[in-house]
Amino acid sequence: MPLLVMKFGGTSVATVDRIARASKRVAREVANGYDVIVVVSAMAGKTNELVGWVEETSPLYDAREYDAVVASGEIVTAGLMALRLQEMDIPARSWQGWQVPVKTTSAHSTARIEEIGTDAINQKFKEGFKVAVVAGFQGISPEGRVTTLGRGGSDTTAVAFAAAFGAERCDIYTDVDGVYTTDPRIEDKARKLDKIAFEEMLELASLGAKVLQTRSVELAMRYKVKLRVLSSFEEYDPNAGTLVCDEEEIVEQNAVSGVAYSRDEAKMTLISVADRPGIASAIFTPLSEAGVNVDMIVQNISEEGRTDMTFSCPTNQVKRAEEALSKAKDAGAINYREVVCDTDVAKVSVVGIGMRSHAGIAAKMFSVLAREGINIKVITTSEIKISVLIDRKYMELAVQSLHDAFELHKA
């Protein structure tokens, strides 16, 4: 039997009625001849509620017990969906992470999947079961404890199952009907893409687009898992959604496929740092050890043996970064005059695999921003991406102007 993985996000299973609606989609694929592995998230808002209970009970909580509590949201959803499918006369069974088993690392709340056992579920399919409903977001550590994969972890669970079981495709059902050229809430001319390359989706996910979790796209690209993003609220259409696939499957490769943004960025500058070999390591090693997610980095021109070092990070990590740098300075690892922090910036990026073969994308992007009077603070590039830091008040204007300039509203 061909096998399909279907993942339903929190809004798609937010109520018993929505679980019933999702179950009808599963039933349709069973009728089409598939064995189906369904991966479910917790009901919308449930994980936040569980996290709140943990923090209320124990502000300095044990991470192992945190995982035990927050993993329960997906378990409830999986059981309810299995019951609904049984009521529809479809042989179904729910599976918790440890039952599969989904073997993970021991990093509680941020665990990574290391192996997925396929024997138990495959045996149930051989016995006549048609659907395995798997609780996403969770697994089991080498010590036998329940682990969770971090926010958005059910996407990663679904892709990992598709890879392990050799699924024909992995369908991600959410509250949007596909991947758009930019956020439709900012640009009403944003267009839904029929296809997008793994690399483009990975860049968009890492740059702030919240359609798919970054790790899930990484897994899909590594194991060549075809992903389809579609809405659980739209009427059935076999050609609906956006297919995330290999670059070779996309005939027309536009220079730019999308414009992404991240609103909650901060720019930090170390003033007058000693310009010597190893200074970058001395700065960024303690930041890494403190869990600061550094993104854009710029070193200014050196003057008389001193230089300024600028980097960006999420606004909610600024205090952590300041403390790490202060400790490094006190320990004599680095020396700087002061740290200047700007928490009123945003990151705007253009992404497209077509950049490899189209010249002048950066020049066009910069001229568009200049025409709108938007000053660029920091620039970084990759083979298929150009990102800039700008004042946050210009973020929406920048997104709209770039979307128009690259004519992303046109098919």
- Tens digits of pLDDT across the chain (411 residues): 899 999 999 999 999 999 999 999 999 999 999 999 999 999 999 999 999 999 999 988 999 999 999 999 999 999 999 999 999 999 999 999 999 999 999 999 989 999 999 999 999 999 999 999 999 999 999 999 999 998 889 999 999 999 999 999 999 998 888 899 999 889 999 999 999 999 999 888 877 666 788 889 999 999 999 999 999 888 877 778 999 988 888 766 778 999 999 998 999 999 999 888 888 999 999 999 998 999 899 888 767 778 999 999 999 999 999 999 999 999 888 989 999 999 999 999 999 988 888 889 999 999 999 999 999 999 999 889 999 999 999 999 999 999 999 999 987
Give the pLDDT confidence of 273-311 residue by residue, as tens digits.
988 888 899 999 999 999 899 989 988 876 777 899 999
Q: Which residue has the tokens 């044990």?
A: 62
Which top CATH class is 259-405?
alpha beta
CB atoms within 10 A of CB 60: 5
Q: Which residues of the chain are in CATH 3.30.2130.10 domains?
A: 259-405
- Predicted pLDDT at 130: 97
Q: Is the pTM of this model over 0.75?
A: yes
- Predicted pLDDT at 22: 96
- Residues 216 and 204 sit within 8 Å (Cβ to Cβ): no
> β-strand 35-40 against 131-135: which pairing, if any?
parallel
> What homologous superfamily is domain 3-175 in, according to CATH?
Acetylglutamate kinase-like (3.40.1160.10)
Going from the C-alpha of 394 to that of each of 44, 56, 256, 267, 376, the distances in angstroms are: 32, 38, 21, 16, 11
Q: Which residue has the tokens 């682990």?
A: 147
- Predicted pLDDT at 161: 98
Measured CA to CA, the distance from residue 161 to residue 164 in angstroms comes to 5
Q: Which residue has the tokens 């200047």?
A: 340
